[in-house]
């Protein structure tokens, strides 16, 4: 995990609204469309602090959430309460999810979060579990990134990727990242350091370390079909058009 100062979780809770913000309306509209087509209960895996799920709940969709980070689920719960929402949330890991089978019309994992399951065998088992969560005719949607779309790959040291002025006078949130890519094993080691500054004084920090696995298109389709999915559609980004530099591959797999 890395070194942490006391109160680091409080730091993350405080700055989570600035932590890797991604409020792409194209992405949101894509998942809203998928929920409309599903016409039933959905499950968001790696829901985090509620970036997508809260907006979808506010529009009246039935969406449960799963995340492995308890402090982010706490943040989500507080936001939901303030908005008068009562989501069903589960504190579980993506690779060992344990929920009733055939419960959902749609299961989706946004923003490459599935790639945090870096062990290939565990990833295969996870996809089998997701298949069982779906009702007949239900769909699994997985968004994956490719390493060459990453702006800070193989940095060779810490680089500032975000520097945000907070509402409190003189305070800033700084995010640094250092990554190493192993193209043979298809793994990325990413270290992230979150810092809270007051002027020139470092008040608090937390360091996190993540291993991420990337997949080629054909490789991931094979994993989905091995789990039982017979129909798999792929998109570049969230539309049928050409990919952008920071695009995601979208896999839409249907259970018979």
pLDDT tens per residue across span 181-207:
999 999 999 898 889 899 999 998 888
Supply the Cα-derived Rg of the chain in whole angstroms: 19
- Mean pLDDT, range 88-101, rounded to an integer: 96
Residues 6+ away with beta carbon under 8 Å from 60: none
CB burial class (10 A; 0-12, 13-18, 19+) of residue 6? exposed
Residue 16 is predicted with a pLDDT of: 58
Compute the average pLDDT of residues 58-84.
94
Dihedral sign (CA 111, 116, 118, 124): negative
Q: What angle do CA 9, 214, 130 make, to 5 degrees?
A: 75
Return d(Cα 170, Cα 167) in angstroms, integer: 9
Under DSSP, is residue 222 helix (H, G, I), strand (E, B) or coil? helix
Residue 242, CA distances (Å) to 8, 142, 209, 219 in order: 41, 18, 32, 21
In angstroms, the CA 48 to CA 217 distance is 26
pLDDT of residue 93 exceeding 70, the answer is yes
Write down the pTM of the prediction: 0.88
Query: How high is the pLDDT of residue 167?
Result: 77
Looking at the DSSP bridge assignments, the partners of residue 197 are 172, 202
Which conformational region is residue 94 in: left (phi greater than 0), alpha (psi within -120 to 50 degrees), or beta? alpha
Residue 168 confidence (pLDDT): 78
Percentage above 70 pLDDT, the chain: 87
pLDDT in tens, 6-64: 344 556 656 655 555 455 788 999 999 999 999 999 999 999 989 999 999 999 999 99
Amino acid 19: pLDDT: 52
pLDDT over 90 for what percent of the chain?
61
For residue 239, pLDDT over 90 is answered with no
Provide CATH 2.20.25 ranges for the chain.
148-212
| Beta-carbon contacts of residue 252 (< 8 Å; ≥ 6 apart) | 34, 139, 140, 141, 232, 233, 234, 235
CATH topology of domain 8-147+216-254: Rossmann fold (3.40.50)
Across the range 154-159, mean pLDDT stands at 80
pLDDT band with cut points at 50, 70 and 90 for residue 2: very low
Q: How far apart are CA 155 and CA 19, in angstroms?
A: 20
Q: How far is CA 134 from the centre of its chain?
A: 20
Cβ(103)–Cβ(133) under 8 Å?
A: yes
104 closest CA partner among 35, 26, 202, 154? 35
Closest CA to 154 of 185, 186, 177: 177
| CATH 3.40.50.150 boundaries in the chain | 8-147+216-254
For residue 76, pLDDT over 80 is answered with yes
pLDDT band at 3 (very low <50, low <70, confident <90, very high): very low
Handedness of CA 71, 76, 77, 78 (dihedral sign): positive
Q: Pick the residue with more confidence: 145 or 228?
A: 228
* CATH code given to domain 148-212: 2.20.25
End-to-end Cα separation, the chain, in angstroms: 40
């Amino acid at each position: 995990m890395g070194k942490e100062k006391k109160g680091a979780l409080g730091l993350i809770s405080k700055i989570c609204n600035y932590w890797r913000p991604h409020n792409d309306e194209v992405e949101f509209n894509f998942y809203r469309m998928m929920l409309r087509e599903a016409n039933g209960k959905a499950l968001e895996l790696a829901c985090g602090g509620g970036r997508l799920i809260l907006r979808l709940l506010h529009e009246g969709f039935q969406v449960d959430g799963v995340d492995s980070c308890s402090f982010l689920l706490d943040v989500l719960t507080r936001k939901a309460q303030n908005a008068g929402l009562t989501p069903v949330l589960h504190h579980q890991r993506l690779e060992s999810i344990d929920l009733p089978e055939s419960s959902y019309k749609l299961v989706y994992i946004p923003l490459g979060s599935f790639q945090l399951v870096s062990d290939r065998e565990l990833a295969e088992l996870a996809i089998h579990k997701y298949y069982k969560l779906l009702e007949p005719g239900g769909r699994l949607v997985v968004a994956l990134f490719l390493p060459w779309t990453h702006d800070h790959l193989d940095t060779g040291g810490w680089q500032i990727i975000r520097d945000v002025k907070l509402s409190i006078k003189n305070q800033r949130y700084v995010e640094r990242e250092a990554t190493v890519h192993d193209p043979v094993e298809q793994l990325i080691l990413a270290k992230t350091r979150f810092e809270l500054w007051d002027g020139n004084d470092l008040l608090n920090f937390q360091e996190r370390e993540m291993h991420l696995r990337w997949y080629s298109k054909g490789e991931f389709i094979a994993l989905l079909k091995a789990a039982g999915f017979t129909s798999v559609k792929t998109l570049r980004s969230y539309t049928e058009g050409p990919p952008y530099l920071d695009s995601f591959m979208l896999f839409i797999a249907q259970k018979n």
